[in-house]
């Protein structure tokens, strides 16, 4: 089974973008009814996570909290590109997620969406989706 | 192979509950000897993680540290439900975990247990277990 | 398919060690061209993550930031072994990672490596690699 690759055009510095429907489309194309979907981003200043899907303020509060904890500016950072904060957020949140597929449907709570998290935009980004049958 | 679904009745605001034995039971029922178990919770204010299984103070210290870093009260939070802190902890810890099965046994270190983390209880909660053969 | 187990001799207190080439070797030995690799460490004071592979200052900044956020010393910690900070970092970063394999190659970004993170060394450590075909 081939790996799906998707492109995102992200227009701001930090943003969480719901990608659940894209993954659901891949599952439908795959024809797989039972298994696991692995979603992964090949970037070191972005991440993949699952979070609340109804109130956009939750995403605001999450990006705010991560910025407070891992701030943009810190005199102790050595990395000269100046984006250590984004590398750190990426590793803290994680670059992949594994979700369960049952009867052709992704198992998610009613309040959950899968998100691509941009921490160092604006950029063109990618993510991969692998559907495993089993 | 069907997906296992389990219910937890959580009686406090924050708690880490060992669910390793439940997952071991699912592996036994599945009859699968080699593969991967994906464990996932469908909630945006809870998480799944692996942590120390012997001294309950480790769980205390972990919940304490997450509360210090992502505090309950912060004037910058916009989400009106008042539980942004729990959404943030959920995304920081992660809602799923993938573990390896070998010869019918879950691979875990002797000090490790799999935990369901409640960040906004008390509530009735669920988690799913998918056993993939391979 | 057997599970691969690897040993690491870690000579310092905190360190991030690239293990990508070891996992690539396992994939080659497995003969599997398409699927998923699950990498997992059986320790409660270590973790597995994906991060930047070119400037070692990124690793310095990451370990620095985690130490600032989850400090070694805190009067509120109850765990008497004195390494609560390492248990917390382990759960925050996570002990496993799932990566996609396509045409016999691990999908990673050009700036990404897979890392074993030591938070309480020096120690001899282990990690497991499971290759799932699909």
Amino acid B1: pLDDT: 73
Average pLDDT over residues C28-35: 97
Q: How large is the average pLDDT for residues C17-32?
A: 98
For the stretch B12-65, pLDDT in tens is 999 999 999 999 999 999 999 999 999 999 999 999 999 999 999 999 999 999
pLDDT band, very low/low/confident/very high, at A83 (cuts 50, 70, 90): very high
User: CA torsion sign, A99 to A38 to C134 to C17?
Assistant: negative
Question: In a 3-state reduction of DSSP, which class is residue A37?
Answer: strand
Confidence at residue B13, expressed as pLDDT on a 0 to 100 scale: 97
- Measured between beta carbons, which residues in chain A are less than 8 angstroms from residue C108? 42
Interchain CB contacts (distance < 8 Å): A and C:
100
Q: What average pLDDT does the structure give for chain C?
A: 96
Q: What is the mean pLDDT of residues A52-67?
A: 94
Give the pLDDT of residue C111. Answer: 97
Please indicate whether, in this complex, the C-beta atoms of B50 and C95 are within 8 angstroms of each other. yes
Task: Tell me which chain A residues have a C-beta less than 8 angstroms from the C-beta of B76.
Answer: 61, 64, 68
HSE of B28, CA atoms in CB hemisphere, 13 A: 6
Per cent of chain B over pLDDT 70 is 100
ipTM for the complex shown: 0.96
Q: What is the mean pLDDT of residues C3-20?
A: 97
Percent over 70 (pLDDT), chain C: 100
* Contact (CB<8Å) A87/C36: no
Task: Tell me the average pLDDT across C18-22.
Answer: 98
pLDDT tens across A18-48, in order? 999 999 999 999 999 999 999 999 999 999 9
CB C1 within 8 A of CB C129: no
Q: So what's the pLDDT on residue A80?
A: 87
Select from B36, B58, B107 the Cβ nearest to the Cβ of C87.
B58
Q: Under an 8 Å CB criterion, which residues of B touch C?
A: 34-36, 49-52, 55, 57-58, 60-62, 64-66, 68-69, 92-94, 97-100, 102, 107-112, 132, 134
Q: How confident is the model over B70-87, as a mean pLDDT?
A: 92
Which segment of A103-117, B73-87, C37-51 scores lowest on mean pLDDT?
B73-87
pLDDT-based confidence at residue C1 (cuts at 50, 70, 90) = confident
Kindly list the residues from chain B whose CB atom is less than 8 angstroms away from the CB atom of residue A106.
Answer: none
Q: Which residue of C has its CA nearest to A1?
A: C134
Domain boundaries, chain B: 2-133
How far is it, in rounded angstroms, from Cα A84 to Cα A87?
A: 5
CB atoms B84 and A65 under 8 Å: yes
- List helix spans (H) across C10-104: 20-30, 56-69, 84-93
The whole-chain average pLDDT of chain A stands at 96
pLDDT value at residue C5: 98
**Contact yes or no for B107 and C42 at CB 8 A:** yes
Q: Give CA–CA dist A17/A30, Å, rounded.
A: 23
Cα Dmax for chain C: 52
- Which one of B38, B87, B134 has the shortest CB-CB distance to A52? B87
Decide if A19 contacts A126 (C-beta within 8 A): no
Task: Give the Cα separation of B17 and B8 in Å (integer).
Answer: 9
- What is the pLDDT of chain B when averaged over all its residues? 96
For residue C36, is pLDDT > 80?
yes
What is the percent of chain C where pLDDT is above 90?
95
CATH 2.60.120.560 fits A2-133, yes or no: no
Closest partner residue to A134 among B74, B76, B133, by Cβ?
A: B133
């Amino acid at each position: 089974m081939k790996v799906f690759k998707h492109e995102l055009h992200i227009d701001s510095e930090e943003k969480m973008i719901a990608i659940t429907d894209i993954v659901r489309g891949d599952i439908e194309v795959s024809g797989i009814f039972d298994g696991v979907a692995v979603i992964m981003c090949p970037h070191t200043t972005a991440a993949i996570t699952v979070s609340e899907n109804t109130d956009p303020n939750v995403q605001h509060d999450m990006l705010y909290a991560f910025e407070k904890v891992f701030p943009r500016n810190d005199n102790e950072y050595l990395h000269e590109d100046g984006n250590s904060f984004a590398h750190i957020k990426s590793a803290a949140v994680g670059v992949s997620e594994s979700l369960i597929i049952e009867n052709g449907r992704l198992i998610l709570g009613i309040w959950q969406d899968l998100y691509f998290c941009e921490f160092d935009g604006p950029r063109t980004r990618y993510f991969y989706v692998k559907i495993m049958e089993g």
